[in-house]
Amino acid sequence: MPIITLTSDWGLRDHYLASVKGKILANIQEVNIIDISHQISPFNIEHAAFVIKNCYQDFPEGSIHIIGVNTEESDKDSHVVLYHHNQYFIGTDNGIFSMIFTDQPEKIVELTIPQDTDFFTFSARDRFVKAAVHLANGNPIEELGNPLKNIQTKMLFKPTVEEMLIKGMVIHIDGYENLITNITKDLFDKVGNGKKFAIQLRGVQIRSIAQSYLDVPTGETVAVFASNGHLEIAINQGNAGSLLGIAINDAIRIEFEK
């Protein structure tokens, strides 16, 4: 059964999400519709990109992901379908795809299939669903439009590395108020190479990385590598974000001993 996932900032108290689901089911009977999140902060493509980037690889090959955040088309931002890592992504090329993928997508197609209605504020229902159903029925991506060479690039801040020093930032605060940074375990291992270190984040200093939140007592600050491989600062059973007074984009630095 084909899988279509939905990610959006529609929230859960309006008719938008149900309209899209109804429209899918009216066009294809056997399909598994999975909500990724509809609580993306309004208009926030960084948030949407973070969520999709961190879960799409858990889905089976051939999954079709509709992205309903900032979907409006313009001369600059076209509606596209991508094929990459054996999965399909339907959305608006407003820079979001460059934040989801670190490499160039395998196939990029600019949608030329027409909208279903004369209203242009609900592309997810009126255009993306058609593309998704087309793919879910096993039809080729090429029939949906014209090939494009590149996607728009909107750079995310990458950590900078100086001699024995990594400077990064907080890129996401999750529902527990855990602080997820843009520093990965790979980078940490490469730069640090097993040396002693100190993580600095506002007034907090942490000198070890735990395997689990439970490695520190309840209420204490802990650094772990999160399940997506990113360095995460948390408080065991507490809210690191508000208790440490940290917001998205705040700086974090790791100094290794020479």
Helix, strand counts (H, E) of the chain: 7, 15
Interface residues for a copy of itself in 95-114 (CB under 8 A)? none
Close Cβ partners of 16 (under 8 Å, ≥ 6 residues apart)? 8, 10, 68, 122, 124, 125
Among 102, 103, 114, 121, binds a copy of itself (CB under 8 A): 121
Among 46, 56, 90, 252, binds a copy of itself (CB under 8 A): 56
Among 164, 176, 204, 248, binds a copy of itself (CB under 8 A): 176
Quote the least distance from Cβ 44 to a copy of itself, whole Å.
10
Among 102, 153, 193, 211, binds a copy of itself (CB under 8 A): 211
Render the burial of 174-208: b for 16+ CB within 10 Å, e for the rest: eeebbbbbbbbeebbeebbeeeebebebeebebee
Question: Does 219 contact a copy of itself by CB under 8 A?
Answer: no
Return the range that interacts with a copy of itself (CB under 8 A); candidates 22-30, 96-104, 131-139, 244-252: 22-30
Distance CA 76, CA 164 (A): 41
DSSP-assigned letters across all residues of 144-159: GEEE-S-----PPPPP
Return the range that interacts with a copy of itself (CB under 8 A); candidates 13-21, 99-107, 155-163, 190-198: 13-21
Question: Does 52 contact a copy of itself by CB under 8 A?
Answer: yes
Question: Does 3 contact a copy of itself by CB under 8 A?
Answer: yes
Render the burial of 89-99: b for 16+ CB within 10 Å, e for the rest: bbbbbbbbbbb
Question: Does 193 contact a copy of itself by CB under 8 A?
Answer: no
Question: Does 200 contact a copy of itself by CB under 8 A?
Answer: no
Question: Does 36 contact a copy of itself by CB under 8 A?
Answer: yes
Among 12, 165, 243, 247, binds a copy of itself (CB under 8 A): 12
Quote the least distance from Cβ 80 to a copy of itself, whole Å.
17
Among 107, 113, 167, 174, binds a copy of itself (CB under 8 A): 174
Distance CA 44, CA 41 (A): 5
CA dihedral of 80, 86, 87, 93, whole degrees rounded to 10: -30
